[in-house]
Structures are given as structure tokens and as C-alpha cells.
Amino acid sequence: MEINKARKAIKSAPLAGFQERTATLRLYVKDKDLLKQAKLAALEDDTSLCQLWEEWALE
């Protein structure tokens, strides 16, 4: 049972073990309106723009 709980925890935490597989991703957004919308969404959610992109990527 403990193994199943651990597996479920890993599945629900997509960034588990990130220390072992870190990478840098640079996004360049040419669409100024899209960037403005993203910044406003990050402000509304009280989060960082990076966190917002990460959440969108995982959906």
C-alpha cells in the first residue's frame, strides 16, 4: 500500500525529482497582446509569470 501511495504522490507532483533533471527553458513571446494577457493573469493569480507558464504547460 505504501508503494501505491508513493506512486500516486509522484503522479500528482509532476515536478517531483526536479533536482535530477533540471533544464532552462527560454520563451520568447512576439505577440505583445499575449504577453500582456499572461502578465495580467499572473498578477490576478498572485503568482509568477514562470509559474503561470508551467501550469499552462501541464494542463
Listed in sequence order, the residues at least 6 apart from 58 whose beta carbon sits closer than 8 Å to its beta carbon are 14
C-beta of residue 39 within 8 angstroms of C-beta of residue 51: no
Please answer whether residues 42 and 48 qualify as being in contact, where contact means their C-beta atoms are separated by less than 8 angstroms.
Answer: yes
Measure CA of the first residue to CA of the last residue in the chain; give whole Å. 28
**What pTM value is reported for the model?**
0.47
What is the model's pLDDT at position 48? 84
The predicted pLDDT at position 33 comes to 92
Q: Distance between CA 37 and CA 23 in Å, rounded?
A: 26
pLDDT values of the chain reduced to their tens digit, one per residue, 59 residues: 455 444 444 455 555 665 665 667 677 889 999 889 888 988 888 888 888 878 877 87
